[in-house]
Amino acid sequence: MILYFLRHGDAGTQASGMADDERLLTDDGIAALRSAAPLWRRLNLRPDVVLTSPLARARQTADLFCEAIGGEPIADDGLRPGASWGNLARAMSVHPDARRVLFVGHEPDLSSAIAELSGAGSVRMRKGSLACLEFYGVPEPGAGEIAWLLDPDLYPEGG
């Protein structure tokens, strides 16, 4: 089984009076994710399901990913900020036939889940980072291997 973890793109700072749930990606955040699309396609990413936090910035990120790769994101409240690996596993369990799952979410949730699943001491997921964990069986703590982690600095400037 393969799990992918995509941190939402740059959403800037929260404006006064704006709910955190409503923060949108910045123009630069959108451009950076769009510039990642050719690399995502070269990696032949083919998630069976794309699960996203329902927050606007994560949903936009998932939409941009699906625009580049295909598919339709599914928002799940279990991926809201503060999600644990247990929350992600429950969201994934609704799709029992999926063998490649992409989670779009927030920090420090994604880094924590990757560290827990792989046994890594720590993992750093910058905005727009994408990680791949591989499992020989059912995803469980300590059983995953980090196949790769793409830092957004690897994405070409401006597409």
Q: Is pLDDT of 16 > 90?
A: no
Q: How far is CA 154 from the centre of its chain?
A: 16
What is the average pLDDT score of the chain? 93
Assess contact for 48 and 100: CB atoms under 8 A.
yes
Taking the C-alpha atoms of residue 83 and residue 159, their distance in angstroms, rounded to an integer, is: 31
Superfamily classification of domain 2-154: Phosphoglycerate mutase-like (3.40.50.1240)
Strands annotated E in 38-97: 49-52, 73-75
For residues 51, 56, 57, 59, the Cα torsion angle rounded to the nearest 10 degrees is 30
Mean pLDDT of 13-27: 77
> Percentage of residues in the chain with pLDDT exceeding 90?
86
Q: What is the pLDDT of residues 95-130, one digit of tens each?
A: 999 999 999 999 999 999 999 999 999 999 999 999
Q: Is pLDDT of 18 > 70?
A: no
Q: Is pLDDT of 17 > 70?
A: no
Q: Is pLDDT of 65 > 80?
A: yes
Mean pLDDT of 34-47: 93
Taking the C-alpha atoms of residue 7 and residue 31, their distance in angstroms, rounded to an integer, is: 15
Mean pLDDT of 52-61: 97
pTM: 0.94
User: Domain locations in the chain?
Assistant: 2-154
> Percentage of residues in the chain with pLDDT exceeding 70?
95
pLDDT band (50, 70, 90) for residue 159? very low
